[in-house]
Chains A and B, each alone.
Chain A
Amino acid sequence: ETGVTQTPRHLVMGMTNKKSLKCEQHLGHNAMYWYKQSAKKPLELMFVYSLEERVENNSVPSRFSPECPNSSHLFLHLHTLQPEDSALYLCASSQEISNIRTGAGELFFGEGSRLTVL
């Protein structure tokens, strides 16, 4: 398997459930990201990890809890979600984390996990 893989591809959950999304990258990258993609809206950055350390939390509600046990794996733990959280959740990786000096580099995305909250 190469690239960025996400599981599950589809998830339906009730508001009281606890579930997790998983992302794995096989590219040897040092930075990993979670994005939320809702219809007709820009891709929203949720979390950024660099070498397993969280470097950005973009004002995301605490019902979303990320975990990065190593530089190849990223999880998004979901708890007590709301129907408006239904969206496509995309994981991405990049060689290095972007910074003001170097600018951003190419993001490699997974195919996403389509989440429906009932």
Chain B
Amino acid sequence: GENVEQHPSTLSVQEGDSAVIKCTYSDSASNYFPWYKQELGKRPQLIIDIRSNVGEKKDQRIAVTLNKTAKHFSLHITETQPEDSAVYFCAASRGKLIFGQGTELSVKP
């Protein structure tokens, strides 16, 4: 079955810096790759997703890139702000969503 590995598990950046979180997946048939953000004590919420027919997608300060050949995808956050502090989960799917272990991002003012 699908396996998703996410790195790093924790990430600390200064406000204004960029943050990058990477995920690899094992099932080459996976065709949907969402990213969820979970603030402390809150529910996970979808922040951006990408399908396998697209290599990159941007939404303001966040972007996701997908390399199907290497089976990895990444989340990029530019100009980080303290409110970006949260746990971020990647997932891969060709039907059932399989989540990565999560990355705890801390943005220091």
Interface residues of A (CB under 8 A from B): 4, 40-43, 45, 48, 56, 90, 98-100, 103-104, 106-107, 109-112
Contacts and interface: CB of A to CB of B under 8 A. Distances in A.
A100 B95 contact: yes
Q: Chain A: interface secondary structure?
A: loop
B106 to A, nearest CB: 16
Given A90-B43, A104-B32, A41 B97 contact: no
Interface residues of B, number: 27
B36 to A, nearest CB: 8
A42 B95 contact: no
Contacts of A100: 29, 94-95
Interface of B: 4, 9, 29, 31-32, 34, 36, 41-46, 49, 51, 89, 91, 93-102
Contacts of A41: 101
B46 A106 contact: yes
The 6 closest A-B pairs by CB, nearest first: A103-B32, A104-B93, A109-B43, A43-B99, A42-B99, A100-B95
B52 to A, nearest CB: 8
Contacts of A111: 41-43
A70 B98 CA distance: 26
A4 B42 CA distance: 12
